[in-house]
Structure 1
């Protein structure tokens, strides 16, 4: 599974399983970038898959698991790449999404579905996998990211430096989800007028940097530009200390 947001929501589902059934062995095939955030998570064996390796990488996964057969395989992405990769894993139950959300041939790779939901949040959709496995429900999800004191230190330092602060995370993986630079700049100015320092954050990729530069060029009063200057775990600590995240 890839995409930072998806793995965060999936982590809550995995923690629900671990809490209810600590005897269950969990193996998670995960992207190499996303692994940087969840590395160290208790009770989970991670297998890193680099999507850039394509068919060769899928063959390596197949070879690694050729002697294993799982009770349940949760196919929690509908992308064709994830569907094809799932064929490298032998499992009695191949659990996937309901028919209304099955795209890119998803139905061909599963033999059991989660219950249909009306306009679910991503987290609710993932929790439905635990429901389908008969895992006891929880009143409140728990993410419990494996963050060390050193991971949290940057956020604590910023809190000490600025007091309460807001942070803008402007770059989404899909362009249609990105707001305008002028909109972000206006929001930053509004917060600054209320004496709330504003920070920028993002990954090291060119999209994050381009959008960040556009926000700065639009006159946003940014106190600290953290784009590309934190690890994923450090960023989690920075967001945890923020009073407001946009």
Structure 2
């Protein structure tokens, strides 16, 4: 591989930059500090971010991104031919591939640029390193946010841990009116991730909802999408709970972000709304068993509120890091008592301040 001559702080900044990070909502939130840092370091650069249509709605009104280029994943194989047609006339000085998998590699290769920066070969999956000609140095596995920050370090760009959703005044008024419907502190409960293995039991969730309402004086409200699975879970929780929670499912991603911002506390498994809530500054209790919170948990804040059963309870499991087979059962190891302790801590440490 040729020597790395990626732009650094002492060099002239690139004029046209493309960022490839088109995974789900959580990854999009993790990309926000990257574009904010690049914009501050390279104010004159034209920055394009390749995103899927859903997460792209979260980026509305961002002054640090000049253009959103959509990748229509739902089209399957035809998504790549459509993307190729749409970017055929575009050229860039630098492409930064933050998505080290097959899809990210193909999209990166379709963007014309003399410099394509990606992960090192060890961390680049599906041979995606073949799409890049510049790579960040190899490093131990770390939190995904830190891994993305390594790209800034490599480029000589100062890190900025900045999440801003750039709500319009109208959006702020809508979320404020939504919050006024509740007289008690709102506990936003997100019961479901798109990956069912990350979900806690509905029976445990129902018991926490009842205790939060009856013992802690909170108003539980179900948040999330309006898929068939989420609506079914909401109906089941209504049956399991002594006092059914309020339901506010559906709406756009930006409406969901506004409700998470207006809530007082959030309870969620490892899912996009969890990362949105953390970025918005709403105290968030994260439920982890299937995924590793040290890699994909809340970053920079509210780590003291994470329920971690990925490694089991201290002294209870000989195995520190579970195997692929045993981690499937880890979410069921979360106890109601574990979650209530975190809720009580959140109220003491955050609501009272």
How is 1:25-104 mapped onto 2 (pairs within 5 angstroms)?
25-44=46-65, 45-104=67-126
Q: 1:16 deviation in Å?
A: 1.4
Question: For the structure 1 residues 48 and 191, does the alpha-carbon distance in structure 2 shift closer, same or farther, using more than 3 Å as the test?
Answer: same
Partner of 1:211: 233
Q: 1:103 deviation in Å?
A: 1.2
Secondary structure of the equivalent of 1:101? coil
Question: For the structure 1 residues 245 and 71, does the alpha-carbon distance in structure 2 shift closer, same or farther, using more than 3 Å as the test?
Answer: same
1:187-228 per-residue CA deviation (whole Å, 9 max, x = no partner) reads 212211211001001113223223333333322644421111
Where do 4+ consecutive residues of structure 1 move more than 4 Å?
A: none
1:79-104 per-residue CA deviation (whole Å, 9 max, x = no partner) reads 32222222211122222223332211
Q: 1:55 deviation in Å?
A: 3.3
Secondary structure of the equivalent of 2:224? coil
Distance (whole Å) between structure 2 residues aligned to residue 224 and residue 113 of structure 1: 48
Equivalent pair of 1:181/1:211 in contact (CA under 8 Å): yes
In the alignment, structure 2 segments of 5+ residues that lack a partner are 1-21, 268-353
**What TM-score do you get using the length of structure 1 for normalisation?**
0.89
Distance (whole Å) between structure 2 residues aligned to residue 149 and residue 176 of structure 1: 38
Secondary structure of the equivalent of 2:181? helix
1:121-152 per-residue CA deviation (whole Å, 9 max, x = no partner) reads 222222222222221123xx111113112222
**What TM-score do you get using the length of structure 2 for normalisation?**
0.64
Distance (whole Å) between structure 2 residues aligned to residue 57 and residue 220 of structure 1: 47
Question: Which has the higher mean CA deviation after the structures are superposed, 153-162 or 178-187?
Answer: 153-162
Q: 1:112 deviation in Å?
A: 2.2
How is 1:1-246 mapped onto 2 (pairs within 5 angstroms)?
1-44=22-65, 45-138=67-160, 141-162=161-182, 163-192=184-213, 193-219=215-241, 221-228=243-250, 230-246=251-267
Distance (whole Å) between structure 2 residues aligned to residue 205 and residue 119 of structure 1: 34
Higher radius of gyration, 1 or 2: 2
Question: Which has the higher mean CA deviation after the structures are superposed, 217-226 or 12-21?
Answer: 217-226
Secondary structure of the equivalent of 1:87? helix
Distance (whole Å) between structure 2 residues aligned to residue 116 and residue 155 of structure 1: 43
Question: For the structure 1 residues 113 and 197, does the alpha-carbon distance in structure 2 shift closer, same or farther, using more than 3 Å as the test?
Answer: same
Secondary structure of the equivalent of 1:99? coil
Question: Which has the higher mean CA deviation after the structures are superposed, 232-241 or 218-227?
Answer: 218-227
Equivalent pair of 1:71/1:93 in contact (CA under 8 Å): yes
Equivalent pair of 1:191/1:198 in contact (CA under 8 Å): yes
Distance (whole Å) between structure 1 residues aligned to residue 244 and residue 134 of structure 2: 49
In the alignment, structure 1 segments of 5+ residues that lack a partner are none
Q: 1:175 deviation in Å?
A: 1.8
- Point out which structure has higher relative CO (alpha carbons under 8 A, 6+ apart): 1
Distance (whole Å) between structure 1 residues aligned to residue 24 and residue 222 of structure 2: 20
Give the helix-richer structure, 1 or 2: 1
